[in-house]
Amino acid sequence: MGYYSGVSQFFGGPATRTVKTIIIINVAAFLVQIIAQIAGIRAIFVAFALIPWRVTHELTLWQFITYMFLHGGVFHILFNMLALYMFGNELERYWGAARFLRYYLITGIGAGACSWIVGPESSIAIVGASGAIYGILLAYGLLYPNRIVYLNLLLPIKVKWMVLIMGAVAFLSSVTGGEPGVAHVAHLGGMLVGYVMLRGPEWLGRYVMHREYQRREKLKRQFEVYYGEVRRKIDQDKKKGPTIH
């Protein structure tokens, strides 16, 4: 995939600091994972992959973070890191490093949490940054909906439609089971958590405004009742005529 935005940009432009660091950590973790696999050491995978059953019964809560840095194969990590590079760089430049890193980690953790909620007794290990990557794609689609993305470097499509299609596929796959070995719930969860993060402040602002409006209307009604009583008493006093002392 690549995109064109009216200027000579391709594959996300120069790598930003946080994106570069995340890629380096993922590649290093993957190499350690491969070496451990060749050596027949499963302890690393079991300890750091997200295994819902272990979270439920052994409270291995760190797995909600560590699972994002393990991957199921070369193509798995290649796709995730390529998508992160292509779309994450511009988001980091727009948001800044701190907000970008916070968004990346929370969407990844949220994606893992969604998988755990759906199957708390599952013993199938979940690995990969895909949940966070889907969150990145959603954010990019909301910020730059009309950017043109070239799927497989051939098919031009607007980012908003690509995100919608990927979200629909993740939803249908999570309902029907989809392709074995793919954590579709995590993909969908990353998008949902990302959407709440991005739209949540707006929703909260509307809620606060609505509550303030209700409070003012209540005070207004109370004042009208009080003012009405005062006016009726004044009118009654006027009808009685003057008081003679």
Question: What positions carry a catalytic annotation?
Answer: 130, 187
Answer for the pair 199, 143: CB distance below 8 angstroms, yes or no: no
**Nearest Cα residue to 161 out of 175, 149, 173:** 149
Tokens of 188: 């969908």
CA distances from 37 to 32, 41, 69 (A): 8, 6, 15
State residue 156 phi and psi, 5-degree precision.
Answer: -75, 135
Q: Give the chain's end-to-end CA distance (angstroms, integer).
A: 96
- Burial annotation 2-20 (CB, 10 A radius, 16+ → b, else e): bbeeeeeeeebeebbebbb
Burial class (CB within 10 angstroms; exposed 0-12, middle 13-18, buried 19+) of 178:
middle
Q: How far apart are CA 110 and CA 115, in angstroms?
A: 9
Sheet holding 155-158, edge to edge: 2-4, 148-151, 155-158
CB atoms within 10 A of CB 22: 25
User: What's the CA gap between 86 and 151, in Å, rounded?
Assistant: 12
